[in-house]
């Protein structure tokens, strides 16, 4: 997604997961190399991402209980972005609009992160799924908000109608749609309302593209670029022209 002067982007997350080991006796899944890999990754990224903090306290007591959950974060500076996250069977790269640009910043960080991840695991991982998630948000009072129905119908190429009781006006909204894409990806759109720290009501929508298949590092990066391009197209199609124009 090319940068917009007033982009609504709150966060972009690339997530990749790999096959876990299965104990033949208990049937419990685990990432048997996780603890060693985590220690190695701390050393490997120390120059670029020196600040690490546990996202899940005490995860080391039962790592398998947090399978496919990010438990450790690596940042360039405290609370800074972009950041890397690692957990048993999962790795993510996260960024925000402040510095986000796919080609200039995000993709290089993704390439770097995957290289260090594989080095930490002492070889190629058996990647089995990938997800690219964009989270966007706007303050609704900046757009002449009256009610959710008219706001969404005016600003998005999406609408909903409550015809059972005209006196009932939605206070909050939440919608989700899932699509199978021709190329084998799945597209998930989530639209909802929320309140920010200042108490202002916000519209929040997520564009999530995922694929389950075997990947290597190179095919992951290729897929990520394609998913980014698709997300950009969906974003432009989802927004009405005047609404999209407000981000320029």
Task: For the chain, give every domain's residue range.
Answer: 1-12+130-248, 20-125
Average pLDDT value over all residues in the chain: 92
Beta-sheet pairing, 127-139 with 51-54? unpaired
Q: What is the pLDDT of residue 1?
A: 43
**149 pLDDT above the threshold of 90:** no
How confident is the model at residue 2, as a pLDDT? 52
Report pTM. Answer: 0.94
pLDDT band, residue 171 (cuts 50/70/90): confident
pLDDT bin (cut points 50, 70, 90) of residue 230 is very high
Mean pLDDT computed over 58-63:
78
Pairwise CA distance, residues 88 & 70, whole Å: 7
Q: Which residues contact 188 (CB under 8 A, 6 or more apart)?
A: 176, 177, 178, 179, 206, 207, 208, 209, 210
What is the C-alpha to C-alpha distance for residues 236 and 134, in angstroms, rounded to an integer?
A: 13
Contact 152, 173 (CB under 8 A): yes
């Amino acid at each position: 997604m090319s940068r917009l002067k007033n982009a609504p982007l709150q966060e972009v997350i690339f997530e990749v997961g790999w096959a876990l080991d299965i104990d033949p006796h208990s049937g419990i899944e685990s990432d048997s190399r996780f603890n060693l890999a985590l220690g190695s990754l701390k050393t490997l990224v120390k120059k670029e991402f020196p600040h690490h903090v546990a996202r899940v306290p005490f995860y080391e007591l039962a790592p398998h209980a947090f399978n496919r959950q990010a438990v450790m974060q690596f940042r360039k500076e405290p609370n800074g972005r972009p950041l890397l996250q690692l957990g048993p069977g999962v790795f993510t790269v996260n960024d925000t609009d402040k510095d986000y640009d796919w080609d200039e910043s995000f993709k290089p960080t993704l390439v770097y992160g995957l290289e260090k991840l594989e080095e930490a695991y002492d070889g190629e991982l058996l990647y089995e799924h990938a997800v690219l998630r964009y989270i966007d948000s706007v303050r609704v009072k900046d757009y002449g908000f009256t009610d959710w129905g008219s706001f969404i119908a005016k600003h998005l190429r999406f609408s909903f109608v409550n015809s059972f009781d005209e006196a009932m006006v939605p206070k909050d909204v939440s919608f989700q749609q899932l699509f199978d894409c021709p190329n084998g990806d799945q597209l998930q759109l989530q639209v909802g309302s929320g309140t920010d720290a200042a108490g202002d009501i916000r519209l929040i929508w997520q564009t999530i593209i995922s694929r389950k298949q075997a990947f290597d590092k190179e095919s992951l990066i290729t897929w990520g670029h394609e998913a980014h391009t698709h997300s950009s197209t969906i974003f432009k199609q989802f927004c009405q022209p005047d609404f999209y124009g407000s981000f320029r």
